[in-house]
Amino acid sequence: MGKRLSFMVVSLGMLCWSLNLKAEPLVPALYIFGDSSLDVGTNHFIPETQSRADFKPYGIDFPNGEVTGRFSNGYNLADEIAMLLGFKMSPPPFLSLVQRQNSTKHFRRQILNGINFASGGSGLLHETGQKRYNRVISLEEQIQQFATVRRNISVHLKSTADARIKKSIFLFSIGSNDFFDLYFFNNYTVTETMRQQKLHEKLKNYGARKLAVLSISPLGCLPRYRLNPTECNKELNTISFAFYTTLKGILQNLTLQFPEIKYSLGNSPFLSCFTMIFPQVIGFENSTSPCCGDLTRFVSCHPDSKVCGNRTAFFFWDQVHPTQAVCELAASKFFSGDSLHVSPINLSELVRAS
């Protein structure tokens, strides 16, 4: 029997690309915001950051073994979701277009298809990650970068810009680093500050109408933060599940305030817990240890790390990030899963929503 029947959608999509059928993407563009779960190389263009994945063995399973700055052995969640939407992979990092001084023509052509603003180590709050990693691009800054993109789209498309943006998908995965900072530094209250944020209103003003949001995974079951190999950190897991509930309420209130906005909310705590508790049912053999490195160093994956041989059998690539195989599974559930995995509608339904 096949290892993971849920990968069939992904496999068929990849087959179409390999046959060069040139199918049109399901949406005009994909704009991505978040942290290392979606970062496809942003931090590679921030010299002073200490949150990096621009060295081997990161990228060992990426085409040609290329090191791209993804915190993964291959494709990450941004790529897998983008491929299900009909793109070849995630759109490029905003900073790659800016710092490489692409021509205006190329820049405008690319931003019409989407941009990835995600930065490893970032959070909902501007302060998040700055102390631990020296420099990251916060969500607030990412949205400011999108404002620049939005102005360029208006110049390029003029009267049709609004219609294109309204049909595009805005993908978010962020929040883990806020709670890590809160848990270890205990220097601010995340929940109170979150409620003061008006970032969603800014996005609404920029034309965003379709929001794809992934909640955080159970932080206490990450290899780095487990109490021991068989016991998760219950306090961090309680925070993770509470965040999902809070996020669900925020999105529900948002649609009451702005009925034209539609959203899909991925239930990452449920999917992750089910997979970790019953890994063999899903097709994984190890859901507690990192594939790259071990638990003897705070940063487990480094150039001289030992790497597991069968990476499709591992849930975790390093101490905090999933393998490409897990990203494939999560993306497929987000795209076409039932209400246990995503609500109120899945991503494929969000694409079709008017």
pLDDT digits (tens, 9 = 90+) for 78-90: 999 999 999 999 9
Q: How many CB atoms lie within 10 A of CB 137?
A: 27
> How is residue 70 annotated by DSSP?
-
Residue type, 211: L
Residues 181-207, mean pLDDT to the nearest whole number: 64
Region 246-270: mean pLDDT is 93
Overall average pLDDT of the 188-212 stretch: 69
Q: How confident is the model at residue 299 (pLDDT cuts 50, 70, 90)?
A: low
User: Do 265 and 343 touch, CB atoms closer than 8 A?
Assistant: yes
Residue 17 scores a pLDDT above 60: no
Higher pLDDT: 40 or 295? It is 40
Give the pLDDT score at 220: 93
Percent with pLDDT over 70 in the chain? 87
For the chain, the domains span: 24-352
Asked whether the predicted pLDDT for residue 4 surpasses 50, the reply is: no
Strands 262-266 and 342-344: antiparallel
Residue that the structure tokens 């990452």 belong to: 268
325 has pLDDT over 80? yes
- The average pLDDT across 55-78 equals 97
pLDDT score at 120: 98
Q: Comparing 246 with 167, which gets the higher pLDDT? A: 167
With residues binned 3-state (H G I as helix, E B as strand, rest as coil), the percentages for the chain, rounded to 5, are 45, 10, 45
Q: What percent of the chain has pLDDT over 90?
A: 69
Q: What is the mean pLDDT of the chain?
A: 88
**24-352 CATH:** 3.40.50.1110
